[in-house]
Amino acid sequence: MRVAAAIFWKDLLIEWRSRDRIVAMLLFSLLTVMVFHFSLPGGATAQTQAMAPGLLWIAYVFSALFGLGRSFSLELENDALSGLALAPTDRGWILLGKVAANLVILGVAQAVTALVFALVFDLSLLPVAPALAGIVVLGSLGLCTVGTFFSAIAVQTRFREVMLPLLLLPVLWPLLSAAVRATTALLAGEPVPSEAIQLLIVSDATYLIVSFLSFDFILDD
Amino acid sequence: MLRWSGAVLALMLVASGWLVIQSPLDAMQGVIQKILYVHVPCAFASYAGFFVTALGSGLYLWKREDRYDRLALAGAEVGVVFCTLTLLSGPIWAKGTWGQWWVWDPRLTVTLLLWFLYLAYLLLRSFTEGSERTARFAAVYGLMGATAIPLNYYAIELFGGAAMHPDNLERGSLGQGMGLPFLMSVLTGLVAVWYLVVARLDLENLRVQSAARLGGYPRT
């Protein structure tokens, strides 16, 4: 547990000192929102507002792909990956520490993206902000878990930038469908379907457990 | 094993081919219904391939013996072919009967997901260097993919569109005289998987042996 906390703190500290990941993710999110705006003719109409939850999650997934890759590529310098692998602990805790750090970094990017979305698509997010935050955290937990896990794999292959989306996106389908469902209901002012929350929780738990247990095999070199 | 399974497969292909030709035409769908004698076996075959991959992956992580990794690889390569055939034959039938090439119903979405998982698995194997690392990563991804399938099925059951894809055979949706051709076709599909997996395993074993003899890396 302390290992996880130590890794969490280390990653956040590295990020705070360089701020390269968060800036890249923020910029990427904002550019994505701009692209969405230009690809949907007519501006903030009822139609585009109906699509906003899906587009928001697309923006989140893309910025996660951007930022999660860096999570392990910074460990390649000075063979830090081997150092992590040699740590006398259950390797799953290393993964959890990194997942937690990525969650925080992604969370910051997601909050700003949501604000920009609200501006561009003329949404009123303030009344639903706590519930939206809850759904986004649930969804991002699964996203960061599998994303960090696959980033550890991808970073040890050729074409690491290409590998992460290829590995991650199919596995994300259930999570994404639940998250978009929940967000759509929330923004439409309807009650959030309990099945969506159920699926989010089940997916998160499954991915956390499977990743935690299999992480041993990833750092086995 | 290869020759024997090949012989069985050849016999079954002839038998099911004959049965399919003999089978009655569907009252509503006409001759287009006969695509299902190809589509359904391909679907079963792709699930069987996935099962072989998941089994090989699990056994490899447990026992760390190369032959299980080769089994997983064979299952994936065979499975992806049958999955592609399923995804090609299904829409042809669908356009003829439902009038649409594709719908996002549970079974179709999960089969498409399976296809993407197969492809990602094979790409991961191509892009990883070192046979032991490749085997490890592929095995882990294979198992991760195996968890994603039921999750996705559950997801679509919760939310998905109306299930347009026909129900299972047990529900009596088959017409008269179609039972035996269907059964034979499905069994032929499974025997085809068996034969192709054995053939692929043989090929992989040969490749490993020859690479060892040449002193090089067995590249999977």
pLDDT, tens only, B80-113: 999 999 999 999 988 888 888 888 877 888 889 8
pLDDT exceeds 50 at position B169: no
pLDDT of residue A84: 76
Residue B170's CB is within 10 A of a number of other CB atoms, namely: 7
| A188 vs A193: CA distance, rounded Å | 12
The tens-digit pLDDT sequence of chain A (221 residues) is 788 888 888 888 888 888 878 888 888 888 988 888 888 877 667 777 888 899 999 999 998 988 888 877 777 777 777 777 777 777 888 889 889 999 999 999 999 999 988 888 888 888 888 889 999 999 999 999 999 999 999 888 888 888 899 999 988 988 998 899 899 998 888 888 888 898 899 999 999 999 998 888 888 76
CB-nearest partner of B145 from A157, A171, A195: A171
pLDDT of residue B218: 54
CA angle, corner B159, sides to A40 and B114, nearest 5?
85
Give the residue extent of every domain in chain B.
Answer: 33-163
By CB atoms closer than 10 A (0-12, 13-18, 19+), residue B17 is middle
Asked if residue B69 has pLDDT above 90, the reply is yes
Residue B58 · residue B141 · CB < 8 Å:
no
Decide if pLDDT at B77 tops 50. yes
Q: Confirm if A119 and A50 have CB atoms less than 8 A apart.
A: no
Q: Cβ(A160)–Cβ(A73) under 8 Å? A: yes
Q: Residues in chain B whose beta carbon is closer than 8 A to a beta carbon of chain A? A: 61, 109, 113, 116-117, 119-120, 123-124, 127-129, 133, 136-137, 139-141, 143-145, 147-148, 151-152, 154-156, 158-159
Report the chain B residue with the minimal C-alpha distance to residue A202: B151
Cβ of A170 within 8 Å of Cβ of B113? The answer is yes
Ranges of each domain in chain A: 2-218
Interface A-B: count of C-beta contacts within 8 A:
91
* Mean predicted confidence (pLDDT) in B183-203: 90
CB contacts under 8 A, A 149-188 vs B, are: 149, 153, 156-159, 162-163, 166-167, 169-171, 173-174, 177-178, 181
CA distance linking residue A17 with residue A11, whole number of Å: 10
* pTM for this predicted structure: 0.86
| Cα separations in angstroms, B197 against A178, B5, B166, B207 | 36, 10, 29, 15
Q: Report the distance separating Cα B205 and Cα B218, nearest Å.
A: 10
Closest chain A residue by Cα to residue B60: A217
- Among A159, A177, A199, the residue with its CB nearest the CB of B127 is A159
Helical residues (DSSP H) of chain B, grouped into ranges: 2-22, 36-63, 66-97, 106-127, 131-159, 179-214
The answer to whether the beta carbons of residues A95 and A149 sit under 8 Å apart is yes
How many percent of chain B have pLDDT more than 70?
89
